[in-house]
Amino acid sequence: MNTPALELRGVHKRYGVVHANRNVDLGVERQTVHALVGENGAGKSTLMKIAYGHVRADSGTVHIKGERIARHSVAQSIARKVGMVHQHFMLVGPLTVVENVVLGLEPRRRGLLDLSRATAEIVDLTGRFHLDVEPSARIEDLSVGQQQRVEILKMLWRGCDVLILDEPTAVLTPGEVRGLFETLRGLVADGMTVVLITHKLDEVLAIADRVTVMRRGEVVSEMDGKGLKADDIAHAMVGRPVLLEVDKGPAEVGSPVLEIEDLRITGARGINAVNGVDLLVRAGEIVGIAGVEGNGQKELVEAVVGLHPIDSGRIRIAGRDIAGLTVEARYRAGLAHIPEDRHDRALILDYSIKDNLILGLQRHFTGALDLLRTSAIAERADALIEKFDIRPANPDHLAVGMSGGNQQKIVVARELSRQAPKLLLCAQPTRGVDIGAIEAIHRRMIEARDQGLAVLLVSAELSELKSLSDRLCVMYKGRIVAKFDADDLAREGSLDEVGALMTGAVTAAEVSLGRAGDARSHDLAGDGADRSHSLPDPSGPAQDSADESAVSDGTVKDTVNDRMYPSEDEDEDENEEELS
Amino acid sequence: MGEFFASLFTIAFVAQTLRITVPYALAALGGVMSERSGVINIALEGILLTGAFTGAVAAYESNQYTLVGYEPNPIAAAVIAGALGGVLIAALYGLVVITFKADQIVAGVAINLLAAGLTRYLLKLLYDSASNSPEIPGFETGIFSNPVFWLVVLLAIAAYVLVWRTRWGLRLRAVGDHPEAAHTLGITVNAVRWQGVLASGALAGVGGAWLALSVRGFVENMSAGRGYIALAAVIMGSWRPQWACAACLLFGLAEAVQIKLQTYSIGVPNELTQMFPYILTMITLAGFIGRSRPPQALGQPYDSD
C-alpha cells in the first residue's frame, strides 16, 4: 500500500475575520513534485505552515505517511522527516553554513560541538545533489541562490524525505532556477517528495507531476501535471479566463523622450555598474531591457530618476538635459516611475491606500496653512481605486495587509495619474504579483504606450518582455550587448537568444551568425523532455545501512536516512530530547 | 609624579585593578548571556545590587549561627546567596520581558528602581538602618590566594567555551539573531532566552556578592552604575565574552589609575580624575559602537505562535 507522504484533511484556519484556509483536503503522493498554486493570499503558505506544524489549524488533521499527527509541532515534522524551505529564508546570518545546517540537532563529542563530521557529510551532499556551497562560509556572505541551497542542505542533512518549498524561485536568476529544478529532479529520483508552492505557471509546467490550485482559502482544482496548459491553471487560479498574452497593436512611434548617451555609473562596490550605455526611447513605444539582476539595470533606472549619481554621459527627458535636476524636478519634467522594490521605494506600508496614492504629490493636495485637503485626497483615492481595481476598495486600508498585486496597483495608479507624464520607467513591475494583477498592470502599460508615453521596461521575466516590448535591449555586465526590433522578436527562437545573451552564454556576434541554436533553453515551460534530466549517481552509493527506519518501499535512500541520527553512536536519548 | 608612575608597576596595583574588574566582568558575562539570546539587559545594575544585598545578608547571618555543629563558611554563603538573589530578580525580569513581552528597556529600568528601593526597604526591616548593613566577614587574603577570584576566572573561561563551543551556545546565538529560524528547527526560543537571562542573573549576582565582600558590608545603592558600565563593556566587546572581559579590564585599569591619582596629588582636582573611567567609557563606546554589531533580534520579544 502506498499511503500519501503528506495528507491534510478538512483544514480550517482563520486569522481574525479572514479565512486563510477553508475545509482544505490535500494529498501528496510519494516521490512526486506536487505544485500548490494560487494567487497571493490564496492560503498556500498558511496551508503548508500547518502541514509543517509551524502554525496550528483551527480544525482538521495532518497525516504524515499515514500517521495522524496530534498536537502537531515543528519538532514532530522534523522527526517524521518533513522539511520546509520558507519563502523568507530561515538562516542565521552571522553563523556559518555548517552551524546553520546542524542547528537543533547538533552533533556533540565530549560535551562540545562536533562540526567536523557534519562538515564532511555536507560536502558529500553538496556533491551529490549539485548544491555547491562552501560549508565554512558565513551565511551573510552568500548570494541568495547559495542561501537557498543551504536551506535545502539543512533539510537533506536532517534526512527529510518530504520537502516543502515556499516560492523558492521568487528570488532566483533564471540560471539558478534551472539549477534548483535539476537538484529537485535528482532528489525525487532519489526518493524525495516535493511540495512546491508557486504562482509562476511556467515553473508548474516545467516540473510538477500534480497540481493543486487554491483560491481564497479553498482548493478549487486538482490536475495532473502531464499535458497541462498554462491557460487552464491560470483560469482556475483567478476564477475567470486570463489573457496571458496581451493584445497590442503596432507601435505608433513619436519623437524621442528618453535619450541616454554614453552613460557610465559606478555601482555599490566600486565596480563599473553601467559601462557606456546608449539608449533611446520614443513616445508611443515600449523598450524592454532584459538582463539577469545585477547587470546594471538598477543603476541605469536610478540614474534616470536621480537616485544614483552618474560618472559621465548625458540623460535627456523630452529634449531637456536633466543633469543636476532634483528628483522632484525630474518628476515634474514628465517622469513616472514604478520602482523595483515597492516596499523600499514606492510605498509606505503603514500608510493607508489613499495616503500612498499621494506620496510625492502631497504638494498638490494642500490648502490654507499647508493643511492636507482630506476631501480631495479621499475623492482621488475613490476614483483611482475604482479605475485601477485596487482591492480591498477601502481607501483607509493600510498597504501592509494587502497582496503584492494590489500594492503594485497602488503604485501604478499613482504614477500614471501624475500630471502629464511623458516617460514611464518600470523596473520589475510584476515581481511578486499574482496573475490577475499582472494582466491588469500589463494592460495599463500598453494603454500608457498607446496614449503616447515612452515606456522603459526593465525585467528579468522573458515572457513579460516578449509580450510587451516593441524593441528589446539585452544588458550584460553594464553594457547593452544586443538589440532586437519588433521583427527580430517575432522570429521563432528569439527568446532563447535573449536568454543566452542575458547569461553571457553567447555574444551578440554569435547570435547573428546563427549559432544561438546551441544556447541552452531558458524557456522553462519549453519541453517536458527536460524532466528526464538525470543527475550523476541518483541512486547514491551502496551503504551498509543499519537503518531500521527505512521506508518499506525502499525508494527512500539510506544515504538520506542515516543523516537523521548524526550522533547516533553517542547517547541514545539525545534525539528524543531534541524532538520531544 | 615619578612616584605615581612607579606605583603603577607594582603587584599591588595589578591586584587592585583585578579587584575592581571582577564585578564588572561578572556583570558583563551575564550581559553577554542575556543579550546573545536577544534580551537587552539594562537590569544588570539592579541584579548586581540585589546580589550584593543577598550576599551580604547571607554572609552576616551565616556568621551568627552554627548549623548542627557545622560552621558555615560566610564567604561561600555570600557567593551562593548572591547568585540566587541575582537569579531571583532576573527571573522577575524574564517574566516581564520574555513571558509578557514588555519593552526591555523600560522593564530593565523598572527592575533597577525596584532593586534600589527593595534593598533599602529590606535593610531597614532586617537591620534597622537606611544606609548600610552591619559589618560582615570579607575577603581576608590577597586576590591571588582568594578562591573566589579563581572561581571567577574559571567562570570566564567557561562562559567563553559555553558560547562558542557548545550546543547551548550555538542555540543561544541563533535565537538572538534569527529566532524564527531556530523555531523552524524545533528549538524553543523563549526557553533558551529564559536560560540566558537566568544565567545572567547568576553571574551578575555573584558580582554583587563580590562587591559586598570587598567592603565588608552592604551599602545602599553600592552598585553605583557598574551594571551600566558592564553593559557598555558588552557592546565594546561586540557581545563576545572574551572581549567583553577585556573591556572590563580596561575599565578596571582606568578606575585603579583614578584612585591612584587621588592619593598622589598631581595638581588635578579629584572631581576631574574621578570622571576618568566614565569619559573613557564614552570615548571607547563612540569608537566601537558603530563597528560592533548587535544580535539582530536584540530587544524583540518572540511570539512563538
Kindly state whether residue B299 falls inside one of the protein's structural domains. Answer: no
- Quote the minimal CA–CA distance from A406 to chain B in Å: 27
**Contact (CB, 8 A) for A313 and A321:** no
Same domain membership, residue A171 and residue A64: yes
- The residue among A13, A103, A105, A154 with the most chain B CBs within 10 A of its CB, best to mutate, is A103
Kindly state whether residue A44 falls inside one of the protein's structural domains. Answer: yes
Q: Give A302 or A520, the one with higher predicted confidence.
A: A302
User: CATH no. for residue B29?
Assistant: 1.10.3470
| DSSP category for residue A424 | E
> Which of A275-284, A432-441, A551-560, B261-270 has the weakest average pLDDT?
A551-560
The DSSP secondary structure of A253-303, one letter per residue, reads --SEEEEEEEEEEE-TTSSEEEEEEEEEEETT-EEEEE--TTSSHHHHHHH
Kindly state whether residue B189 falls inside one of the protein's structural domains. Answer: yes
Q: What is the ipTM of this complex?
A: 0.88
Secondary structure (3-state) at A304? helix
Q: Which member of A74, A93, A108 has the closest CB to residue B177?
A: A93
Pairwise CB contact (< 8 Å): A90 & B184: yes
The domain in which residue B117 lies consists of 2-288
Closest CA to A500 of A178, A143, A168, A147: A178
Q: What cell numbers appear for A276 in the block?
A: 557606456
Cα distance between residue B222 and residue B215, in whole Å: 10
The whole-number pLDDT of residue B272 equals: 83
Q: Which member of A75, A92, A102 has the closest CB to residue B181?
A: A92
pLDDT band at B1 (very low <50, low <70, confident <90, very high): low
The residues, ordered by sequence, that sit 6+ positions from B95 with a Cβ below 8 Å of its Cβ are none
Neighbours of A577 (CB within 10 A): 8
Helix (H) / strand (E) containing B76 = helix B74-94
Same domain membership, residue A75 and residue A93: no
Q: pLDDT tens digits, residue range A327-336?
A: 999 999 999 9
Kindly state whether residue A194 falls inside one of the protein's structural domains. Answer: yes
Give A99's contacts in chain B (Cβ within 8 Å): 170
Mean pLDDT of all residues in A532-548? 40
* Residue A105, phi then psi, degrees to nearest 5: -140, 40
Q: Which member of B166, B181, B186 has the closest CB to residue A113?
A: B166
Same domain membership, residue A173 and residue A294: no
The whole-number pLDDT of residue A263 equals: 94
Kindly state whether residue A279 falls inside one of the protein's structural domains. Answer: yes
pLDDT at A560 over 60: no
Q: Does B292 touch chain A (CB under 8 A)?
A: no
pLDDT band at A167 (very low <50, low <70, confident <90, very high): confident
Kindly state whether residue A287 falls inside one of the protein's structural domains. Answer: yes
pLDDT at A545 over 60: no
- Quote the minimal CA–CA distance from B181 to chain A in Å: 4
What residues in chain A have their Cβ under 8 A from chain B's Cβ atoms? 52, 54-55, 73-75, 78, 84, 86, 89-95, 99-100, 102-106, 108, 111-113, 154, 578-579
Q: How far is CA B47 from CA A156, A521, B89, B115, in A?
A: 44, 65, 6, 7
Tell which phi-psi region holds residue A352, choosing left (phi > 0), alpha (psi between -120 and 50) or beta: beta
Kindly state whether residue B128 falls inside one of the protein's structural domains. Answer: yes
Kindly state whether residue B240 falls inside one of the protein's structural domains. Answer: yes
Mean pLDDT of all residues in B88-104? 97
Helix (H) / strand (E) containing A331 = helix A327-332
User: Beta partners for A473?
Assistant: A289, A483
The residues, ordered by sequence, that sit 6+ positions from B127 with a Cβ below 8 Å of its Cβ are B133, B134
Amino acid at A435: I
Closest CA to B298 of B159, B108, B155, B161: B108
The whole-number pLDDT of residue B141 equals: 84
Pairwise CB contact (< 8 Å): B186 & A92: no
Q: Does B229 touch chain A (CB under 8 A)?
A: no
Pairwise CB contact (< 8 Å): B171 & A103: yes
Same domain membership, residue A319 and residue A277: yes
Q: pLDDT tens digits, residue range B40-73?
A: 999 999 999 999 999 999 999 998 877 777 778 9
Question: b/e map of A360-371 (b: 16 or more CB within 10 Å)?
Answer: ebeeebeeeeee
Same domain membership, residue A207 and residue A274: no
Greatest mean pLDDT among A37-46, A149-158, A207-216, B203-212:
B203-212
Pairwise CB contact (< 8 Å): A78 & B186: yes
Same domain membership, residue A117 and residue A57: no
User: CATH no. for residue A470?
Assistant: 3.40.50.300
- The residue among B171, B185, B192 with the most chain A CBs within 10 A of its CB, best to mutate, is B185
pLDDT band at A402 (very low <50, low <70, confident <90, very high): confident
Cα distance between residue A162 and residue B282, in whole Å: 54
* Residue A498, phi then psi, degrees to nearest 5: -60, -45
Same domain membership, residue A199 and residue A59: yes
Pairwise CB contact (< 8 Å): A74 & B185: yes
Q: Which member of A73, A89, A103 has the closest CB to residue B182?
A: A103
Helix (H) / strand (E) containing B56 = helix B44-64
Cα distance between residue A86 and residue A70, in whole Å: 23
Cα distance between residue B63 and residue B137, in whole Å: 8
Mean pLDDT of all residues in B79-90? 98
Q: Which member of A111, A113, A154 has the closest CB to residue B170?
A: A113
| DSSP category for residue B135 | P
**Pairing status of strand A162-166 against strand A193-198:** parallel
Cα distance between residue B50 and residue B60, in whole Å: 15
The whole-number pLDDT of residue B242 equals: 94
Q: Which member of B184, B187, B296 has the closest CB to residue A54?
A: B184
Cis peptide before A392 (omega within 30 of 0): yes
Cα angle, residue A217 at apex, residues A214 and A221 outer, rounded to 5° = 25
Give A16's contacts in chain B (Cβ within 8 Å): none
Q: Which member of B169, B173, B187 has the closest CB to residue A104?
A: B187
Residue of A nearest to B178 (CA): A92
Kindly state whether residue A429 falls inside one of the protein's structural domains. Answer: yes
Question: b/e map of A466-478 (b: 16 or more CB within 10 Å)?
Answer: bbbbbbbbbbbbb
Mean pLDDT of all residues in A319-334? 91
Q: How many domains does chain A have?
A: 3
Q: What cell numbers appear for A402 in the block?
A: 494587502
> Which of A126-130, B161-165, B179-183 has the weakest average pLDDT?
A126-130
Kindly state whether residue B302 falls inside one of the protein's structural domains. Answer: no
Same domain membership, residue A292 and residue A148: no
Secondary structure (3-state) at A86? coil
Q: How many domains does chain B have?
A: 1
> Which of A402-406, A534-538, B258-262 has the weakest average pLDDT?
A534-538
| DSSP category for residue B70 | B
Residue given cell 557581545 in the structure block? B239
Mean pLDDT of all residues in A231-250? 81
pLDDT band at A55 (very low <50, low <70, confident <90, very high): confident
Same domain membership, residue A185 and residue A315: no
The residues, ordered by sequence, that sit 6+ positions from A157 with a Cβ below 8 Å of its Cβ are A101, A102, A118, A121, A122, A125, A563, A566
| DSSP category for residue A119 | H
The whole-number pLDDT of residue B291 equals: 65
Same domain membership, residue A121 and residue A19: no
pLDDT band at A555 (very low <50, low <70, confident <90, very high): very low
Secondary structure (3-state) at A163? strand
Give A78's contacts in chain B (Cβ within 8 Å): 185-186
Kindly state whether residue B267 falls inside one of the protein's structural domains. Answer: yes
- Quote the minimal CA–CA distance from A363 to chain B in Å: 37
Neighbours of A204 (CB within 10 A): 24
The whole-number pLDDT of residue B63 equals: 87
Same domain membership, residue A337 and residue A426: yes
Give A154's contacts in chain B (Cβ within 8 Å): 185
> Which of A225-229, A340-344, A467-471, A546-550 has the weakest average pLDDT?
A546-550
Last residue of a domain, one of A141, A160, A179: A160
Pairwise CB contact (< 8 Å): B178 & A74: no
Pairwise CB contact (< 8 Å): B185 & A111: no
Kindly state whether residue A563 falls inside one of the protein's structural domains. Answer: no
Same domain membership, residue A147 and residue A98: yes
Secondary structure (3-state) at A366? strand
Q: Which member of A90, A111, A578 has the closest CB to residue B180?
A: A90
Closest CA to A154 of A200, A215, A91: A91
Q: pLDDT tens digits, residue range A218-237?
A: 999 999 988 888 888 888 88
Last residue of a domain, one of A160, A181, A208: A160
User: Beta partners for A59?
Assistant: A12
Kindly state whether residue B102 falls inside one of the protein's structural domains. Answer: yes
The domain in which residue A103 lies consists of 89-160
**Pairing status of strand A454-459 against strand A423-427:** parallel
Cα distance between residue B96 and residue B99, in whole Å: 6
**Contact (CB, 8 A) for A274 and A261:** no
Counting Cβ atoms within 10 Å, is residue A313 exposed (0-12), middle (13-18) or buried (19+)?
Answer: middle
**Contact (CB, 8 A) for A352 and A399:** yes
Kindly state whether residue B301 falls inside one of the protein's structural domains. Answer: no
Q: Does B36 touch chain A (CB under 8 A)?
A: no
Pairwise CB contact (< 8 Å): A100 & B170: no
Q: Give A162 or A20, the one with higher predicted confidence.
A: A162
pLDDT band at A517 (very low <50, low <70, confident <90, very high): very low
Q: pLDDT tens digits, residue range A448-460?
A: 999 999 999 999 8
The whole-number pLDDT of residue B2 equals: 74
Question: b/e map of B42-76 (b: 16 or more CB within 10 Å)?
Answer: bbbbbbbbbbbbbbbbbbbebbeeeeeeeebebbe
Pairwise CB contact (< 8 Å): B181 & A84: no
Amino acid at A79: A
Measure the N-to-C terminal CA separation of chain B; round to a whole number of Å. 65
pLDDT at A532 over 50: no
**Contact (CB, 8 A) for B4 and B268:** no
- The residue among B161, B184, B192, B305 with the most chain A CBs within 10 A of its CB, best to mutate, is B184
Pairwise CB contact (< 8 Å): B165 & A579: no
- Quote the minimal CA–CA distance from B17 to chain A in Å: 33
The whole-number pLDDT of residue B267 equals: 75
Give B177's contacts in chain A (Cβ within 8 Å): 92-95
The whole-number pLDDT of residue B71 equals: 79
Pairwise CB contact (< 8 Å): B181 & A90: yes
